[in-house]
Amino acid sequence: MSMSAAAQPESEQEPAPARRETVGGYLRFVALLVLAVLAFRGFLFTPFTIPSESMLPGLIKGDYLVAAKWPYGWSRWSLPFDAPLIEGTIAPRLPERGDIAIFRHPVDGTEYIKRVIGLPGDRVALRGGVVVLNGAPAIQRRFADFVLPVSPNTGCAWGAVRESAGDGARQCRYARFSETLPGGRSYLVLDFGATPQDDFGPVTVPAGHVFMLGDNRDNSQDSRFLASAGGGVGLVPTSRLVGRAEIVLFSTDGSARWYNPVSWFTAARWNHIGERL
């Protein structure tokens, strides 16, 4: 009596054919990956590279940071490639005074980063370089000088004292102050001395707008200047807000060379990486 195929010993059964990855399966995986990246980039976080020294001392040219998008809601300006998929703003929320915010320039659409000082209805002025918010001056106290090594990403602005470090390298020394807004938010700012923009306003921030300042007060094109392409930003519409700066992911002084792997490490500002904003 012959044994049926079902009764054959396991060792004699034909092995199951190996699963083969199909082109269609691979393309589905790639499509899902692209959608996941777009969702992450479009609705959760956005990267930003610091292009100038207007936010010294906290943010340095060559910093790579990430900003959260949900704190201020979503609009076409917060989507990749300015995709016109959203009309108006979804779940709009105002920033808090003192937030570091990324936004689109009202004229040319370039991404800028500044600190939120005034909200709708606030009366903002500067007197002798000190912010006056709704009639109450911010508290400024002298802080330890800010020392910045000269590098391909950082030079000495006109308000710096140029000096040599102990190892002979060049560095820039700036006067630094802590500034505390009337609401209690504190942060550090630079001051080069008396400049025309130290006295401004007052202006009342209209509905749907915010008043922005750079922390490097004498080297920042911000809400003290009329909005113009490549220049001042004026009063920024809240619909142009992209996200709230959260953390410095990486920072480089710009001296790395692609052909020299050692320079990739020596150029990194390790003590600045991972700072919360």
**249-269 pLDDT per residue, tens:** 999 999 999 999 999 999 999
Tell me: pLDDT of 14 over 70. no
Domain-located, residue 97: yes
Average pLDDT, the chain: 87
Tell me: pLDDT of 145 over 80. yes
* Active-site entry in 54, 75, 151, 239: 54
Domain-located, residue 4: no
- Residue 5 has what pLDDT? 45
Dist CA 107 CA 177 (whole Å): 32
- Residue 117 has what pLDDT? 98
- What six digits make up the tokens of 125? 């002025």
How many domains does the chain divide into? Answer: 1
Domain-located, residue 89: yes
- Residue 168 has what pLDDT? 81
Domain-located, residue 124: yes
Domain containing residue 75: CATH number: 2.10.109.10
- Residue 216 has what pLDDT? 97
54 is catalytic: yes
Domain-located, residue 233: yes
Mean pLDDT of 110-135: 97
The larger pLDDT score, comparing residue 275 to residue 167, is at: 275
Q: Which domain holds residue 120?
A: 33-266
Domain-located, residue 24: no
- Residue 74 has what pLDDT? 77
Q: Exposure string (b/e) for 225-246, b if CB count within 10 Å is 16 or more?
A: eebeeeebbbbbbbbbbbbbbe
Tell me: pLDDT of 162 over 90. yes
* Active-site entry in 75, 78, 114, 251: 114
Domain-located, residue 5: no
200: amino acid identity, one letter: F
- Residue 204 has what pLDDT? 98
Tell me which of 48-52, 72-76, 160-164, 175-179 is least confident. Answer: 72-76
